[in-house]
Amino acid sequence: MASPRLYSLGRYPAWVMTDRPLRLRFAPSPTGFFHVGGARTALYNWAIAQREGGTFVLRIEDTDEARNQPEWTQGIIDALAWIGISSGDEHFEGPYFQSTYAEAHIAAAERLYEAGVAYYCDLTGDEVQERAKANGKPGYDGYSRDRGLEAGPGRVLRFRVPEGTTIVHDLVRGEVSFDNSNIEDFVLLRGNGSPMFLLANVVDDITMRISHVVRAEEHLPNTPKQQMLWNALGVDPPVWAHVPVLVNEQRKKLSKRRDKVAVEQYRAEGFLADGMVNYLMTLGWAPSGDTEIVPWSRVVADFRLEDVNHSPAFFDLKKLSAFNAEYIRALSLDAFIEACAPFLLAPDVPWNPEHFNPVVFSAMAPLAQTRVTRLDEVVPMVDFLFLVEPPIDEAAFTKTMGGPNARELLSEVIAAYGTAEWEHEALKETLEAIGEGYQLKLGKAQAPIRVAVTGRTVGPPLFESLVLLGRDETLRRLQAALQRAGATPG
Ligand code: GLU
């Protein structure tokens, strides 16, 4: 048998040591789109598993039948694969499905009952509330602790919380102490006999021989209860690490109602997986050195749970976009073109797919690559090349064509571009010279030309765009704009 691997032996105080083989897990509930916070937690686990030669177990906690949907499970698996966590890697194990282990959860509950550390209670939820009100103390008051009830329909099984203090040693939070008198005798089995989340989660972690539980901070309040369950089931608790919550600009916890939290959505908008991964890792942690933009290999080498900050981490969309732009610029041209393909070939592109010309796009690609922060911005940047009649932005048209000499300028440009050398420097110099005649700087002179040809006031460099569009099509659009502006074609 291979010798057990210790996690970062020597770098931690004795209390985080465990001689179990390193087994981490990620245990999402498939109740919605895959949340960026979940992705961050998964990556933290993944980085440790890869560096230390441990195992990353994926366990789908699918016991909430009312809220789980199979497509959410597939969404999680796909999104994890997108950020590099998949069964193709030797450190990956699973997915396991919690719903298939209900018998083991119930058996564990029965063991706790036999051992006297759990007992049945027949109070209804309302009765528990009424008693709490009368007691002036929230929560269940231990009413059935000594009533000796046996299992029966409608009876819940509760854990007998011992007196004293529960100390949770947490790699991120340090030592967190919980007064047991504030912890009610919590439910293990519902009145219909089905296991509660807390129990299922612990039993699965024990069965799967999990050595380290690295998860979101929102689970910290569950941890003393879970630690008691580990002990009651006769197994030393794992090493805990609770990583900070993600907050939005208003410092409110990221929520799927308020904020864009779905990993799938970022992917659909053209965030690159590598940039996303790098950014997610920095939510609560920073690599050593003067840049946060580091490859995954550096993350794996550098990441340490004890360096994770425990204050809330700001999910900064601007910073994520800046990371993404950098990752886009770092792609080779071929890789960039390939990454754009799903966006250019999507069913909802504004142009007729038969008019898409990959050679023209490849020529435009270097200009687009340095200008976009997300890949989906490429489509509106190049659409004028493949649309027969690019829609004109009315406000921009009126503004640029309404200027004092815009129509005259346009007529002159049409005449000059009829014979100019079709090359970007020549086109630029031609326009510059014509603009000078009207005391217009190049930028101002470009505006009506750009709107006429692309329909918009902003876009990729103009003269390169004209070269790609070709003389005939450029002239046709300039003529059309002139007509539209109400002048006689020159
Ligand atoms: N299934 C729980 C969740 O998605 C995770 C529990 C855990 O990591 O222990 O929030």
Q: For residue 472, how many other CB atoms are within 10 A of its CB?
A: 8
Active site residue 441: no
- Which residue is it, tokens 């800046």? 322
- Within a domain: 303: no
Q: Hey, whose CA ends up nearest to atom 2 of ligand 1?
A: 28
Using most ligand atoms within 8 A of CB, pick from 36, 58, 61 the residue to mutate for ligand 1.
Answer: 61
- Within a domain: 307: no
Residues 205 and 340 in one domain: no
- Give distance in angstroms: CA of 36 to centre of ligand 1: 14
> Chain-wide mean pLDDT for the chain?
93
- Give distance in angstroms: CA of 29 to centre of ligand 1: 6
Q: In angstroms, how far apart are the furthest CA atoms of the chain?
A: 101
* The ligand 1 atom nearest the CA atom of 41: 8
Q: How far is it, in rounded angstroms, from Cα 168 to Cα 389?
A: 66
* The ligand 1 atom nearest the CA atom of 222: 9
Q: How far is it, in rounded angstroms, from Cα 186 to Cα 159?
A: 6
Q: Please, which residues have CB within 8 angstroms of residue 458's CB and are 6 or more apart in sequence?
A: none
CA dihedral 227, 231, 234, 236 (to 10 degrees): 60
Residues 110 and 188 in one domain: yes
Residues 86 and 20 in one domain: yes
Residues 351 and 465 in one domain: no
- Give distance in angstroms: CA of 388 to centre of ligand 1: 52
Peptide bond connecting 95 to the previous residue in cis, omega within 30 degrees of 0:
yes
* pLDDT the model gives residue 4: 35
Residues 9 and 95 in one domain: yes
Using most ligand atoms within 8 A of CB, pick from 59, 62, 219 the residue to mutate for ligand 1.
Answer: 219
- Give distance in angstroms: CA of 199 to centre of ligand 1: 12
- Within a domain: 269: no
Residues 69 and 210 in one domain: yes
Edge-to-edge strand ranges of the sheet holding 187-189: 118-121, 156-159, 187-189
Which of 213, 246, 279 is the last residue in one of the domains? Answer: 246
* Secondary structure (DSSP) of 227-250: HHHHHHTT----EEEEEPPEE-TT
Residues 192 and 202 in one domain: no
- Within a domain: 316: no
Burial code (b: 16+ CB inside 10 Å, e: under 16) for 448-458 equals bbbbbbbbbbe
pTM over 0.95: no
Instruction: Give me the helix-helix angle, 378-386 and 462-469, nearest 10°.
Output: 40
Using most ligand atoms within 8 A of CB, pick from 26, 29, 62, 213 the residue to mutate for ligand 1.
Answer: 29
- Within a domain: 336: yes
* pLDDT the model gives residue 17: 55
Residues 138 and 192 in one domain: yes
Residues 54 and 185 in one domain: no
Q: How many domains does the chain have?
A: 4
- Give distance in angstroms: CA of 381 to centre of ligand 1: 42
- Within a domain: 13: yes
265 touches 33 (CB < 8 A): yes
Q: For residue 330, how many other CB atoms are within 10 A of its CB?
A: 15
Catalytic residue among 137, 252, 256, 441: 256
Instruction: State the CATH number of the domain containing residue 181.
Output: 3.90.800.10
Nearest to 364 by CA among 463, 217, 281, 479: 463
- Within a domain: 133: yes
Helix boundaries (H) for 257-357? 263-268, 273-281, 296-302, 317-330, 333-344
Domain with 238 in it: 4-99+198-246
Instruction: State the CATH number of the domain containing residue 49.
Output: 3.40.50.620
As for ligand 1, residues whose beta carbon falls within 6 Å of it are: 27-29, 61, 201, 215, 219
- Within a domain: 284: no
Residues 90 and 116 in one domain: no
Residues 175 and 52 in one domain: no
CA angle 78, 84, 85 (to 5 degrees): 70
pLDDT tens series, the chain, 490 aa: 333 334 443 455 444 556 788 999 999 999 999 999 999 999 999 999 999 889 999 999 998 888 888 889 999 999 999 999 999 999 999 999 999 999 999 999 999 999 999 999 999 999 999 999 999 999 999 999 999 999 999 999 999 999 999 999 999 998 999 999 999 999 999 999 999 999 999 999 999 999 999 999 999 999 999 999 999 999 999 999 999 999 999 999 999 889 999 999 999 999 999 999 999 999 999 999 999 999 999 999 999 998 999 899 999 999 999 999 999 999 999 999 999 999 999 999 999 999 999 999 999 999 999 999 999 999 999 999 999 999 999 999 999 988 778 899 999 999 999 999 999 999 999 999 999 999 999 999 999 999 999 999 999 999 999 999 999 999 999 999 999 988 433 3
Residues 94 and 230 in one domain: yes
* The ligand 1 atom nearest the CA atom of 205: 9
